[in-house]
Amino acid sequence: MIFAQKGDSLADLIGRVMESSDREVSVVIPFGFEALRSEEDFFRLFEEARAAGKIVSILSDDEHMRVRAKHIGFRVGSSQGSNSMKKEKVIMTDIVRKAAAPQTLSLAREVIPDKPKPVEKPRITIKKSEQIPSAVMALEPRPEIPGEEPILEPPQRFALRVPPIRIPAFFRSSLGLTLVLTLVGLGIAAGVLGIVLPSVEVDITPRTEELDLAMELVVAVNPQEGEIPAQFVSVEKSVSQKAPATQRSTTESRAQGTVRIYNAYGPDSQTLVATTRLVSQEGKLFRTTETVVVPGGSAANPSSIAVSVVAAEAGPEYNISPSTFSIPGFQGTPKYQGFYGKSDEPMRGGASGDVRVVSEDDIAKATEGLEARAQEEIEKEFTAKLPPGFVVFDEARMKSIVMTADSEAGDPADEVTATAEAKLEALLFKESDVTAQAEALIMQRLGENIQVVPGTLSLSYTVHDRSFDQGRMGLSVQVLAQAARRIDANAFAEVLAGKSEPEIRSFLGAHEDVKFAKVRFSPFFISRAPKDPDRIFINVSLDTQ
Whether residue 426 lies inside any domain: the answer is: no
pLDDT for the residue numbered 119: 45
How many domains does one find in the chain? 3
Q: Does one domain contain both 70 and 132?
A: yes
pLDDT for the residue numbered 421: 95
pLDDT for the residue numbered 540: 92
Q: Does one domain contain both 151 and 183?
A: no
Instruction: Give the amino acid at 409.
Output: A
Q: Does one domain contain both 156 and 16?
A: yes
Q: Choose one of 310, 339, 357: the last residue of a domain.
A: 357
More confident residue, 31 or 239: 239
pLDDT-based confidence at residue 500 (cuts at 50, 70, 90) = very high
Torsion of CA 282, 283, 285, 290, to 10 degrees: 60
C-beta atoms surrounding 407 within 10 Å: 21
pLDDT-based confidence at residue 503 (cuts at 50, 70, 90) = very high
Whether residue 540 lies inside any domain: the answer is: no
Classify 51 as helix, strand or coil. Answer: helix
Residues 6 or more apart whose CB falls under 8 angstroms from that of 379 comprise 424
Q: Does one domain contain both 28 and 137?
A: yes
Mean pLDDT highest for which of 176-185, 197-206, 443-452?
Answer: 197-206
Of 294, 350, 292, 346, residue with least CA distance to 318:
350
Q: Does one domain contain both 286 and 149?
A: no
pLDDT tens digit sequence for 286-337: 999 999 999 999 999 999 999 999 999 999 999 999 999 999 999 999 999 9
Paired residues of 216 in beta bridges: 476
More confident residue, 105 or 244: 244
> What φ, ψ does residue 345 adopt, rounded to 5°?
-125, 155
Instruction: Sort 157 into a burial class: Cβ within 10 Å, 0-12 / 13-18 / 19+.
Output: exposed
pLDDT for the residue numbered 420: 95
Whether residue 473 lies inside any domain: the answer is: no
pTM value > 0.75: no
pLDDT for the residue numbered 80: 66
Whether residue 211 lies inside any domain: the answer is: no
d(CA 71, CA 68): 5
Mean pLDDT of the chain, nearest integer: 81
pLDDT for the residue numbered 545: 61
pLDDT for the residue numbered 223: 92
pLDDT tens digit sequence for 130-152: 443 433 333 444 444 444 444 33
Torsion of CA 305, 308, 313, 314, to 10 degrees: 140
HSE value, Cβ hemisphere, 13 Å, CA-based, for 290: 12
pLDDT tens digit sequence for 23-44: 898 888 887 788 887 888 888 8
Q: Does one domain contain both 32 and 158?
A: yes
Helices (H), 52-97: 63-72
d(CA 103, CA 89): 16
pLDDT of 113 over the 90 cut: no
pLDDT for the residue numbered 19: 86
Q: Does one domain contain both 83 and 59?
A: yes
d(CA 524, CA 366): 83
pLDDT tens digit sequence for 363-372: 999 999 999 9
Q: Does one domain contain both 186 and 157?
A: no
d(CA 514, CA 219): 39
How many residues can be counted in the chain?
Answer: 545
pLDDT for the residue numbered 105: 33
pLDDT of 99 over the 50 cut: no
pLDDT tens digit sequence for 393-409: 888 889 999 999 988 99
pLDDT of 195 over the 60 cut: no
Whether residue 510 lies inside any domain: the answer is: no
Whether residue 365 lies inside any domain: the answer is: no
Whether residue 199 lies inside any domain: the answer is: no
Classify 74 as helix, strand or coil. Answer: coil
pLDDT for the residue numbered 172: 59
Whether residue 143 lies inside any domain: the answer is: yes
pLDDT of 72 over the 90 cut: no
Q: Choose one of 341, 357, 373: the last residue of a domain.
A: 357
* Cβ atoms 501, 527 nearer than 8 A: yes
Residue 272: give the domain boundaries. 249-357
Q: Does one domain contain both 181 and 270?
A: no
pLDDT-based confidence at residue 188 (cuts at 50, 70, 90) = low
Of 148, 140, 63, residue with least CA distance to 108:
140
pLDDT tens digit sequence for 399-435: 999 999 988 998 888 899 999 999 999 999 998 999 9
Q: Does one domain contain both 171 and 316?
A: no
pLDDT tens digit sequence for 337-348: 999 999 999 999
pLDDT of 159 over the 70 cut: no
Q: Does one domain contain both 7 and 152?
A: yes
Of 44, 247, 252, 269, residue with least CA distance to 164:
44
Q: Are strands 2-3 and 24-29 parallel, antiparallel or unpaired?
A: parallel
Q: Choose one of 312, 342, 357: the last residue of a domain.
A: 357
Of 168, 171, 200, residue with least CA distance to 184:
171
Q: Does one domain contain both 178 and 123?
A: no
